């Protein structure tokens, strides 16, 4: 099956790492590294996004704007609320005012450590879209889920619940991150990622129509490295990667972003 022309997205989730000064140095070095390698942004190469901690976003925004960088950025989370007495939360409007393009919603660490429910994540997806942000909705199963329910069942259920109140033609990204692979060094196989991605796309078609399903980029996340990214990107329904630990190494992350150079090797 030929791959549909969707701009690949390589996204680096820094999690709770790098302060604002380190973020500036990282983004500068990432830009230089990609320029030196003649990286092409867009369909011929990839879109490159970073997701720094909230305290870094203003610094990254200033750097990207001042130097006219092609790298884009987003928040690691957002509030379901627009404003009000919600101490410690960050609204989608605030992220949009910082020129964020994306926001991660429902990362497995948020689901586990903060007990975020599918229903709450649905409200966050709606809040992101309302603010003009592109939600990167994370779905995925634990090893126990996989053994009990089989592949796709839990990610599909999470996708259905999070999009239950969404209609129209939303611009969104779905990231399949098998929890059993994150940080383990043992990624899913490209075939496993494709099987889930294809099922997620079929579910998107059912919920929002073929046009949205065809346009939505589906990422794989979980122990992604420069040595395995090409295998994932050869799959018809895998359109990029949500990179964790490897996104903190400039050389490695730049190599992942340049996956086109590895395809066929």
Q: Which residues are catalytic?
A: 107, 177
Tell me how crowded residue 113 is: count the other CB atoms within 10 A of its CB: 9
Helical H runs in the chain?
A: 20-36, 57-67, 92-97, 108-113, 118-130, 143-149, 153-162, 190-208, 210-215, 229-233, 250-257
Taking alpha carbons only, the member of 130, 22, 26 closest to residue 78 is 130
Q: Residue 134 is encoded by which pair of tokens?
A: 């592109």
Identify the DSSP state of 259. G
CA dihedral 119, 123, 124, 130 (to 10 degrees): 160
Taking alpha carbons only, the member of 95, 87, 156, 176 closest to residue 128 is 95
Are 101 and 73 within 8 A, CB to CB? yes
């Amino acid at each position: 099956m030929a791959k549909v022309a969707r701009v690949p997205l390589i996204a680096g989730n820094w999690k709770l790492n790098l302060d604002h000064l380190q973020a500036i140095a990282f983004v500068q070095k990432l830009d230089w590294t990609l320029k030196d390698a003649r990286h092409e942004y867009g369909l011929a190469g990839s879109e490159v996004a970073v997701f720094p901690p909230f305290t870094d976003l203003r610094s990254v925004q200033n750097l990207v704007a001042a130097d006219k960088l092609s790298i884009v950025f987003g928040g690691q989370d957002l509030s379901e609320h627009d404003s009000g007495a919600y101490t410690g939360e960050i609204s989608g409007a605030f992220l949009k005012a910082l020129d964020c393009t994306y926001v991660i919603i429902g990362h497995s660490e948020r689901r586990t450590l903060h007990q975020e429910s599918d229903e709450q994540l649905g409200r966050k997806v709606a809040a992101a879209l309302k603010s003009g942000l592109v939600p990167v909705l994370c779905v995925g199963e634990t090893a126990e889920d996989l053994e009990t329910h089989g592949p796709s069942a839990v990610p599909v259920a999470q996708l259905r619940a999070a999009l239950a109140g969404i209609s129209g033609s939303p611009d969104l990204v779905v990231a399949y991150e098998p929890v059993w692979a994150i940080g383990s060094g043992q990624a899913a196989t490209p075939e496993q990622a494709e099987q889930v991605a294809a099922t997620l796309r079929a579910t998107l078609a059912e919920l929002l129509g073929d046009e949205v399903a065809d346009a939505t980029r589906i990422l794989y996340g979980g122990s992604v490295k420069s040595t395995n990214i090409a295998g994932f990107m050869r799959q018809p329904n895998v359109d990029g990667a949500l990179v964790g630990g490897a996104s903190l190494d400039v050389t490695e992350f730049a190599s992942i972003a340049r996956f086109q150079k590895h395809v066929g090797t």
